[in-house]
């Protein structure tokens, strides 16, 4: 191992025992993953897979990682968000089920809560760099938001161009950091990313934002390896986006502020799956929920679900809670925030931190940031009124709470493992492009979770199956069916 390479980097290995206890509890709540471990314990179909994961380093992700390991894979990992790592989970994964803090035997994980942007991209690069491997890189990516894919693609692109561009003052701070990482890499090895990209059989992408990037790359002809869009499995998007956010949004707001939600006016920007779950959870607490939308279909859905649909402009001065769930940028501007009620709560549950203009807020003349506690900031305007911003505009359900609960992540991650198996073991069936998992695998993920909930499934008779024209064992719905 080269001297500059650390075997892993986490905040505090002494947290490993706590992390292991939580992982043990989570395993019980993740029946899909545990069923796959049982099924593939003997065959180890991921043996010889070298998987780099870029995904929130939480307790649930630890169960995913250890499932991949149980299926034979070697794994290196980074978080995909600077705040989302649970340090005890990272420690437990580094120590591994058979190691101790003094003798860690887990996987190479590079993640801690509260990374700087420089540290974040260093971690991502570490996860992509396989010092022991012959090729120096992974042969599979497991991505959430597409940052690992982005680094590989941009690195290879700049290597082909022969230089890393300088970047301009208009570019976000993060882009300059990425350019810096790639510039340093190019100095050390001008073919590093090209070589890594060439070895990668494919990527399985977890989230809407990352999937969007993949389709853009495929359209532009710049995609370098096949991708499976895990996000659009029904058992991922509905469960993770809708039911998961329904659970963790109010958890985040409660832990951050302990504000009574009942009776408040809450604005949810975006009524996609995430927005629907958020609206339902706040309504369940008896907030009055108002939706903003740009898509007439989603807006009509919100109205038919009984929500007021307004523009942010209509609500900005009267609402108590604002949550962005759009996947788009510049939703809540600094100007909006300056007009909000005293101590209005502002948070984002979309993947990236560009939905709320934090940089613009910080640039307002005379504004003052008062840190209440980690991930809870009071921003005081010159006139004395203030707002409360959660997780610095990054996704608050992970920053202020613990993200999705284990059961939801089991549904999501079981898709991930099946997608990894598909790409790794049936590579020839997935040509360059972006694919979704076959519906039967989607149904399989659901099946693996029914027993734990005491669900008794009715089986089609042969006559019934023939009558509706589906096999008895599925798939039961057309690809276009909207669940």
CB 75 within 8 A of CB 51: yes
**Exposure class string for 3-28: b at 16+ Cβ within 10 A, else e:** eeeeebbbbebebbebbbebbeebbe
328 binds other proteins per the rule CB under 8 A: no
- Cβ of residue 13: shortest distance to other proteins, in angstroms? 42
303 binds other proteins per the rule CB under 8 A: yes
Among 262, 374, 382, 433, binds other proteins (CB under 8 A): 262
CA distance 118 to 95: 25
- Pick 262 or 471: Cβ nearer other proteins: 262
| Known catalytic residue at 351 | yes
CA distance 334 to 322: 13
CA distance 427 to 221: 20
CB 369 within 8 A of CB 376: no
Q: Where are the beta strands (DSSP E) in 139-264?
A: 140-143, 202-205, 227-229
The full DSSP string for 369-415 is: EEEEETTEEEEE-TTS-EEEEEGGGSBHHHHTS--S-HHHHHHHHHH
288 binds other proteins per the rule CB under 8 A: yes
| Known catalytic residue at 439 | no
Q: By CB under 8 A, which span of 135-143, 181-189, 250-258, 278-286 interacts with other proteins?
A: 278-286
| Known catalytic residue at 245 | yes
Q: Compute how many residues bind other proteins; rule: CB under 8 A.
A: 15
| Known catalytic residue at 56 | yes
- Pick 300 or 372: Cβ nearer other proteins: 300
Six-digit token string for 191: 């073919």
- The candidate with the shortest Cα–Cα distance to 19, out of 87, 106, 109, 102, is 87
304 binds other proteins per the rule CB under 8 A: yes
Q: Which of residues 3-22 bind other proteins (CB under 8 A)?
A: none
- Pick 288 or 385: Cβ nearer other proteins: 288
The catalytic position among 54, 60, 81, 84 is 84
56 binds other proteins per the rule CB under 8 A: no
Q: Which of residues 191-230 bind other proteins (CB under 8 A)?
A: none
**CA dihedral sign of residues 406, 407, 412, 414:** positive
- Cβ of residue 298: shortest distance to other proteins, in angstroms? 13
Cα–chain center distance at 181: 22
307 binds other proteins per the rule CB under 8 A: yes
300 binds other proteins per the rule CB under 8 A: yes
Query: Which residues form the catalytic set?
Result: 56, 79, 84, 144, 206, 231, 236, 240-241, 245, 351, 404, 412, 416
Note the residues at the interface with other proteins (CB under 8 A). 262-263, 283, 285-289, 300, 303-308
């Amino acid at each position: 191992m080269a001297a500059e390479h650390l075997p892993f980097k986490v905040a505090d290995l002494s947290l490993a025992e706590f992390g292991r206890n939580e992982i043990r509890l989570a395993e019980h709540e993740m029946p899909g993953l545990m069923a796959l471990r049982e099924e593939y314990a003997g065959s180890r179909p991921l043996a010889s897979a070298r998987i780099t994961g870029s995904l929130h380093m939480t307790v649930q992700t630890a169960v995913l990682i250890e499932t991949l390991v149980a299926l034979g894979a070697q794994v290196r990992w980074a978080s995909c968000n600077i705040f989302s790592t649970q340090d005890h989970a990272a420690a437990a994964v580094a120590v591994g089920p058979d190691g101790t803090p003094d003798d860690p035997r887990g996987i190479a994980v590079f993640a801690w809560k509260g990374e700087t942007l420089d540290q974040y991209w260093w971690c991502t690069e570490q996860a992509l760099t396989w010092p022991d491997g012959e090729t120096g890189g992974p042969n599979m990516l497991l991505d959430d938001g597409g940052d690992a894919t982005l680094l590989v693609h941009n690195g290879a692109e700049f290597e082909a161009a022969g230089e890393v561009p300088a970047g301009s003052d208009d570019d976000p701070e993060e882009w300059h950091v990425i350019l810096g990482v790639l510039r340093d890499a190019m100095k050390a090895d001008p073919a590093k990313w090209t070589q890594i990209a060439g070895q990668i059989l494919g990527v399985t992408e977890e989230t809407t934002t990352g999937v969007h990037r993949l389709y853009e790359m495929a359209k532009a002809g710049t995609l370098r390896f096949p991708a499976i869009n895990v996000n659009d499995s029904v058992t991922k998007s509905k469960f993770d986006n809708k039911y998961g956010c329904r659970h963790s949004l109010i958890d985040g707001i409660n832990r951050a502020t302990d504000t009574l939600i009942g009776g408040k006016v809450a604005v949810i920007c975006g009524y996609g799956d995430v927005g629907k779950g958020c609206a339902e959870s706040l309504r369940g607490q008896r907030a009055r929920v108002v939706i903003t939308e740009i898509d007439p279909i989603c807006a009509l859905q919100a109205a038919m679900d009984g929500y007021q649909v307004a523009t942010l402009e209509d609500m900005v001065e009267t609402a108590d809670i604002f949550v962005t769930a759009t996947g788009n940028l510049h939703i809540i501007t600094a100007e909006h925030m300056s007009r909000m009620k005293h101590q209005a709560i502002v948070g984002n549950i979309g993947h990236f931190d560009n939905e709320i203009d934090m940089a613009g807020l910080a640039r307002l003349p005379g504004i003052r940031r008062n840190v209440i506690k980690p991930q809870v900031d009071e921003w005081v305007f010159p006139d004395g009124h203030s707002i409360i911003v959660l997780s610095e505009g990054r996704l608050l359900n992970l920053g202020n709470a613990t993200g999705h609960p284990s059961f939801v992540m089991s549904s999501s991650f079981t898709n991930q493992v099946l997608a990894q198996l598909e790409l790794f073991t049936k590579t020839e069936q997935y040509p360059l492009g972006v694919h979704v998992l076959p519906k039967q695998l989607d149904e399989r993920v659901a099946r693996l979770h029914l027993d734990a909930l005491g669900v008794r499934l009715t089986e089609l008779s042969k006559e019934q199956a023939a009558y509706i024209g589906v096999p008895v064992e599925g798939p039961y719905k057309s690809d276009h069916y909207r669940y």
